[in-house]
Amino acid sequence: MEKVKPRTLSGFMELLPDRQQQMEKIQELLRRTYSLYGFTPLDTPVIEASEVLLAKAGGETEKQIYRFSKGDTDLSLRFDLTVPLAKYVAANYARLAFPFRRFQIGKVYRGERAQRGRFREFYQADIDIIGDGALDIMNEAEIPSIIYRTFTSLGLTRFKIRVNNRKILNGFYALLGLEECAADIMHTIDKLDKIGAEKCRALLLEGGVAETKADEIMRFITFSGTSAEKLAFLDSYKGKNEVFDAGLGELGAVCAYLPQFGVPEENFEIDLTIARGLDYYTGTVYETTLTDHPEIGSVCSGGRYDNLAEYYTDKKLPGVGISIGLTRLFFVLEEQGMLSDDIVTAPCDALIIPMTEQLGEAVKTATLLRQSGIRTQLYSEDKKFKAKMSYADKIGVPFVVFIGDDELSKGVLKIKDMRSGEQTELSPDAAAKHIKTAVDERNNGAVIKE
């Protein structure tokens, strides 16, 4: 028969089993953390009516959409999890309680030009809190705590949660009489990290900003110090612009409860350069960077917005949300060698290799181990001993359990720790306990190492 080449499309991540185990562990930890903060899981369709999905979209995004017809229905694959959330909240408004807190970890689709590290199908892990008409600032204040717990649960400690407030920026530029070109200025400042202060200032001047104002802007955005010092610095602008004052009040509230939320000072920073796009966000904005890998950019970003679902409903639905681009993050972690091989990535914790014809005891042992929560495989293929052991090696199983006539007569199991090579004979119950303890210990380790 003519064979078809079994290929996977470029831009689509498909992992080998050990890597997939690590990805699953990360997703499990995200689900657990988001749940701890009272977010409820949602699962919306991958396919939506184009008219619904593209109510807002335009420009670059629309070009990337996977759009097609089935029968006479115009369909599109979701390109983010925010539009489906807006649809969901608008459609189920009367049945939801607000504030509505949801998380969703799901695949989204963008037909971008394929290149290394860019994906056409990728996971986003989003949380959002949606208010009905209003949403208290405490929801914004809680977000750094969620980011902190999320990344520490994955094993990271060297990261910085950077926070700013769009009202402070808008107010500041209004103060300088630069409302008109605020968007351009923010666009320039966004490049600060890459091009440096000198170049940034030069670009501002080129853009028509007067020298004194450019200096004021540079002084403002590059002011350095602790959060308290930055808040004090910002306080010196207070009383001149209402929008600025509102933003400062919000930023103060976000900083006020960080200790009680358990966020250490060293993982948090007020960063006046962050703007996060120009339209959507209206208050607090967040970025998260890995201290040792600034080149990756932000790994968790988001902010406060005023109108989640204006294309579907007249209801005012303000919200705050953050998103992790999980597939890209995973790709980068793998590239950097930051995925820990210490957690168990084998399909099973124990591989039972029976050394007798009669398999009754081996099956009983498999059942016992499984009842103890040990992921167990019974190896029953008709192979030479060496082939069986090389299978154990290849899957990377932590323990092999031998059951032969000798063990049967003594009522014990012979277990081999595949890392140390050590073999011990234990009663079935003791063996189960031993394996479970060793495996749990390894799995309690972090999935990401720094």
CB of 430 to its own copies, least distance (A): 20
CB of 450 to its own copies, least distance (A): 22
CB of 290 to its own copies, least distance (A): 24
Kindly provide the b/e burial profile for residues 324-351, where b requires at least 16 CB atoms within 10 angstroms of the residue's own CB.
bbbbbbbbbbeebebbbeebbbbebbbb
CB of 351 to its own copies, least distance (A): 8
CB of 262 to its own copies, least distance (A): 5
10 Å CB burial of residue 206 (0-12, 13-18, 19+) is: exposed
Closest CB to its own copies among residues 233, 261: 261
Determine contact, residues 320/307, Cβ cutoff 8 Å.
no
Q: What number of residues does the chain have?
A: 450
> What is the phi/psi pair of residue 16, to 5°?
-75, 160
Query: For residue 311, which of 154, 134, 84, 126 has the smallest C-alpha distance?
Result: 84
Residue 105 sits at the vertex; the CA angle it makes with 6 and 341, to the nearest 5 degrees, is: 65
CB of 22 to its own copies, least distance (A): 11
Helix 211-222 crosses helix 182-189 at what angle (to 10 degrees)? 50
Determine contact, residues 322/300, Cβ cutoff 8 Å.
yes
Side-chain-facing half-sphere of 28: CA atoms under 13 Å = 9
Closest CB to its own copies among residues 101, 304: 101
Determine contact, residues 234/226, Cβ cutoff 8 Å.
no
CB of 119 to its own copies, least distance (A): 10
CB of 16 to its own copies, least distance (A): 6
Query: For residue 353, which of 424, 393, 402 has the smallest C-alpha distance?
Result: 402
Closest CB to its own copies among residues 226, 380: 380
Closest CB to its own copies among residues 28, 206: 28
Closest CB to its own copies among residues 51, 429: 51
Alpha-helical regions (H) of 324-423: 326-335, 360-371, 385-395, 405-410
> What is the phi/psi pair of residue 104, to 5°?
-145, 130
Closest CB to its own copies among residues 103, 244: 103
Closest CB to its own copies among residues 194, 394: 394
**Both structure tokens of 64:** 């990337």
Residue for token digits 């979209």?
57
List CB contacts of 160: < 8 A, sequence separation 6 or more: 267, 268, 269, 288, 289, 291
**Both structure tokens of 246:** 């509102």
CB of 292 to its own copies, least distance (A): 27
Eight-class DSSP state of 294? G
CB of 41 to its own copies, least distance (A): 5
Side-chain-facing half-sphere of 44: CA atoms under 13 Å = 26
Eight-class DSSP state of 239? T
Closest CB to its own copies among residues 221, 349: 349
The pairing of beta strand 376-378 with beta strand 350-354: parallel
CB of 234 to its own copies, least distance (A): 22
Closest CB to its own copies among residues 70, 194: 70
Closest CB to its own copies among residues 164, 327: 327
Closest CB to its own copies among residues 55, 426: 55
Determine contact, residues 313/130, Cβ cutoff 8 Å.
no
Classify residue 303 as left (phi > 0), alpha (psi -120 to 50) or beta.
Answer: left
